Structure 1
Amino acid sequence: MDHISDHVVRTLWYIDLCAKQGKPLPFEAIDPFARRVPPRDVRRDGFMKGLGWMFEDSGQVLRKPDPVADYLLGVGWIKQDDQGVRLTPHGRAVLAASGARAAQIEAEDPEVTDVALDPQDPLVYVQLTRRLQKAGSGLLVDAYFKAESITWLIESTNLRRVLVSSRHRSSEQDRQRIAVALATVPNGSDLEVRHTNDAALHDRCVVSASGEVQLLGSSVNGVGKHLTAVISPSDDIATVYRKKYEGLWTSAQVVVPQPVTT
């Protein structure tokens, strides 16, 4: 992103990384990090190769860089609380558009289109998150999506639409819980959930913001319980799924956030 300085993007990436690891960066630690560019390695491969563009200069403190912390706070790309700083939805959007997150995912998971999610794998949710991150701000189609997955979906992916079914017996109770979660979890308003009783909603899939489709072998709440897979179908099949579920989304009803009242 030529219109945003590399050290600003690098700092957004670092803030996001620390927050996702449960160690939010203190506000006062932002500028010391932003002013110093990490030294280059002799070989850039693996993860660092994918992010090599972020570390063009070798070693030293940047000369007269503009302040980063106050700028990020002022434009609303970060927010501060008692624990530290985190990216706002706008900050995550800028980071995603910069290509830093895509480079990280591609470096960690190059050339992989299909993956098996083994419940015995301790990193099974990491695998799932990587796949969903590739979809950007796309659509998750999951008939049995649960409220318990909302926080993870918002914090770990950029998916901002979820289509669920209202045909099964527990769907009304599930929708009520989702409505409360949307009104109470941090950044819950960033997510839109719709429901449909159309029998055409059957398969689980993700439709990316750019139109690619990934088929999910199970509901996201079933990952870690059963062996399943994430598969990228051929273009002609993907087109069928995309048209089908975008159509169902258009005609579906919105799950309205419901604050808890006493």
Structure 2
Amino acid sequence: MKLHCVLRLLICSLIITLASPLALRSNVYPQRVETPVAIVGATLIDGSGGPSLKNSVVIIQGDSIIKVGKQGSIKIPGDARTIDGRGLVISPGFIDSHNHSDRGFKTDPTAATQVSQGITTVAIGQDGGSAFPVGEFLENLDRNSVALNVLTFVGHATVRSRIMHDDTNRLATPGEIEKMSALVNQAMKEGAFGLSTGLEYETGKPASTEEVVMLARVAARYGGMYISHIRDEADLTFAALAEAIRIGKEAHLPVQISHIKLGSVAVWGKAADAV
């Protein structure tokens, strides 16, 4: 990984970690602090896969990491606020790729339970359910900031319900799929990260694979991905995994399985095959 990529990754972890005490007091995102901050003596793991750097120095000014290196090789500004990092680890922030914390954004915008675990980015809109319109949701987040980076998927069950209303316990017609595709298109234009499904849940379960492929193709046009709580996590787990892979192949987009479970005796002991 190139150095500038590493520095960008580190910003997510360090800036939010340093901001958290202020956010906890004020419930708003803190103002930029221009006084330099130097974290000294920590072990630096930069996310590149390379060896860790012991006795590191990381210097932050405003919202940027300006210097990274081994202690003694980096000059610390005289006016810097120094944080003793001995015995601690600095790393890029963790990305929680399947998250439901949006339920608490209004009541706890500091996201203390997430930030305290080192999570700095969350992916919401999971299992086929999402906010809609996506653009409106993201604009509201801009107005009412939380202490996390947030990305959202557009939910299959959400758009299915919008078009089919309470009559979702059946296959969708070609016309309904076309209307759902238009909603996915709208969501992707407005900033959705991809399409999510919950094919084991009541609204998504009646959908055909072909329906999901059609919607996933829309997400693919925008460089999106497909994330799924698959159709079965027991006896038919392997068929459900195959369906998710088929959707990715036919729609030409990456696939993530939200949960790989082997929940019945018939598939116990087959974890290696599933992976």
Q: TM-score scaled to structure 2, two decimals?
A: 0.33
Q: Tell me which protein shows more strand as a share of its residues.
A: 2
User: Which is higher, the Rg of structure 1 or of structure 2?
Assistant: 2
The structure showing larger relative contact order (alpha-carbon pairs under 8 Å, at least 6 residues apart) is: 1
Q: TM-score scaled to structure 1, two decimals?
A: 0.34
Q: Tell me which protein shows more helix as a share of its residues.
A: 1
